[in-house]
Each structure stands twice: as C-alpha cells, then as structure tokens.
Amino acid sequence: MLLVSKRIKKMENKNLSKNLYLRQFNESNAIAYSKAFVSNTSDYNFQLLDNAYRNAGKMYAKLKIAVESNKCLSEHCSVELAQLKQLEEAPQVSLDFLSSLMAELSVTDEANFDLNNDYRYTVANSLMNGKPGYSKTDGYNAYLDLLPNGSQQVVFTGPAFPIALIINSAALSSLVNSDTSLIASTPDINAEMLRLLTEIGVFAADAVNENGGLKAGAKITEEFVVMNSDGSFNYEIIDIGNGKGRNVLKYDMDKIEKKVTPFINAEVAGLMSSEQDAVAAWNVYISKGTSVNEDAQMTQDANAGSSSWDYEENLPLQQDKKVLFETKYKEYFMNNYLKQFITNQFPTVKADAAVFDLAEAKKAKAQKFLKDNDLN
C-alpha cells in the first residue's frame, strides 16, 4: 500500500511539473524565436479520418457483394450484415467522437485548469489544435482506429507520451452520458461565492442589483449588529493614529455563522454532485485558504502543491475529506468574501462616525461601564 501511495504521489508531482512546463511553453511564445523552428516546415496533417477510412470502401464493397450474392461466411449473413451496419454508421460515430474528444481536451486551456490532471491530455489538446512544437515533424502522431466491435479509438504517440495514450469512443461516450468528464474542470469559485453573498440573507433585498450582484456600498443589516441594552450601537473603537480613534460596528459572528452555514452546506452539496470538480476546486482554491487574487497567481505556478488531492487516489471522496472540504469552503467564503463587510464598517449614525480623541473616548467608555454596572 505504501508503494502504491508513493507511486501515486510521484505521478501527482509529475503532473504538476509537466502541466506547468507545458503551460509556460504554450504561453511564452518562445518557439517563435527558435531559428530552427521558423526555418523549417512542420507537418500538422495527421489525416485522422483519411487514414481511418482508407480501406473502408473496399471492405464495404466486398461485404455488399457477399451479401447480395449469398456467399457469406456466416449463417444468414448475420456477421456480414452487422459489419455493413457498422461501416455505414462509422462516419457519424467518428464525427461525434472527435467533437466530444476536442470538447473534453479543451478543459486544459481553461485559465483555472487544475494542473494535477493528467498532463498527457494537455499534450493531446496541443497536438489536436496544431500548436507549435506538437507536429509530426516534432515526432508526434495521432491515429483514428475503427475497431471490430463498432467502437473507435484515437491513439496519441510522441516524445511526451512514455506509452501511447488511447481514448476509446464508447468509454468517452459512457463518461459524458453519466455527467463525468475525462478531465476535471475547475468550478468558477469566485462567481459562485459572489452569488452566495446575495443568497445568505444577511443583506437587505434592496442591496442586490438587477444583475444579481451586491450594489456598491452594500451593508449587512442591523439584525446582525451588536446592540447595547438601551438599543444603541455597541461600537468597537479603532486607533487611526496620532491619538485619534473612530467607532466601527461590531457584528454578532455567531448569529451570522448560524445564518450562513445552511447556505454553505447546500452549496457544498451541489459541488459534491460532481466529486471530480470538487477535487479541482480544492486543489486550485480551497485547500490553501488564500485569497482569490493569490489563487489566480498560483494557478499559473503549481496548484495546491503538497496539499492537493490526487484524483485516482481520492475518488470517490471519503467522508473525512467531505467534512474537511465543507469546513475549508466556509473559511474561504468567510475570509475572502464576507469579511470585507464586517471589518471596519463605520456607523450609520452620522454623529457616531466622527473622528475623536482616543484617550478621552476610552475614559468615557470606562466611566459609562462603571455607571451602567453601578460600580462608582
């Protein structure tokens, strides 16, 4: 078991480093400055369909003659008729297969692509899209094979493939039809959490604009602000320097968390409906507990690093992983999205929002405490 774990961790690190290198190579435009590349021709004509159907016409004619002349090798020409049907349906199968494959491979071009995915799919996507450095001249090739069972396969070979990468049409179709992806696409966590802000019930309905986002200057409702027993605001005093201070609102965090938690749980449950997407979200965003801007930069570097979850090793997710994801997801939301609305929020009462002498304010607050508690 330890050896298997080490092998998976090695592959995980390999995917990170390889995908990072491939992304930097594809985005750097460095190959444009290679004299060897620009001075030589590159052959990107893999002729997938031409090669696959080169002998299909002869095979079809041979089968057709056998059936029509009743010279079939099988009883009632059952095998020959089945083969004819496969050949008639094959072109549409090929078109659907290649279209689906290109759509799946395009995930590797997404800005927030999880670099923990299998790097070979990044190479395959580069090859299929004719990116510089992935031509037949560079040692790459791709084949479309029509298989006896009616399915088809694309085979990728070349310097970046230690062994050929083979993708079967029936297998891919089965994955897609079951809402499973060949490559995990990372959810747009920023969009999801901005939407979540408007749904958690701590902002007034009129704080949401016509596009479903929060309006500029939106504030958490007074229901979640800490009040004194007399109904006045219980402010926190902050030091703004030079002996001066200001009042800021204090929020009932327990009350806010109780309000937010059911919405977070529902959001996480939705993410868990596709566990591979949840793993991608964990690797790219959630696991590090960093900010959205930091995550955007680290996506360009190496997702999650040692805290990342390997797809092969961790799917299906165990309960402890699900609980950890939910906890970290809530922390990520609270720290990166809600915190800005509860930090240094100035009073809505104009008189209470003025700058004041810090020493005098602290003295007055102490005297009020003594008076309110009959301690003078």
Q: Is-contact 191 292, C-beta < 8 A?
A: no
The pairing of strands 141-146 and 152-157 is antiparallel
Res 376: pLDDT:
56
Res 8: pLDDT:
43
What token pair was written down for 160?
Answer: 């970046």
Break the chain into its structural domains and give their ranges.
2-177, 186-376
Res 370: pLDDT:
62
Res 302: pLDDT:
47
Query: Which helix or strand (DSSP H or E) is residue 152 part of?
Result: strand 152-157
Q: Is-contact 8 312, C-beta < 8 A?
A: yes
The tens place of each residue's pLDDT in the chain, 376 residues long, gives 333 344 444 555 789 999 999 999 888 888 888 888 887 888 889 999 999 999 888 988 998 898 888 888 888 898 888 889 989 999 999 999 999 999 999 999 999 999 999 999 999 999 999 999 999 999 999 999 999 999 999 999 999 999 999 999 999 999 999 999 999 999 999 999 999 999 999 999 899 998 889 999 899 999 999 998 888 899 888 998 999 999 999 999 999 999 999 999 999 999 999 999 999 999 999 998 765 555 555 554 445 556 899 999 999 999 999 999 999 999 999 999 999 999 999 998 888 889 988 888 778 777 776 676 666 5
CA-wise closest residue to 165 among 140, 186, 201, 200: 140
Phi, psi (deg, nearest 5) at residue 287: -60, -30
Cα distance between residue 303 and residue 336, in whole Å: 18
Q: Is-contact 237 363, C-beta < 8 A?
A: no
Res 3: pLDDT:
36
Res 375: pLDDT:
62
Task: Please calculate the CA angle 181-109-270 and round it to the nearest 5 degrees.
Answer: 40
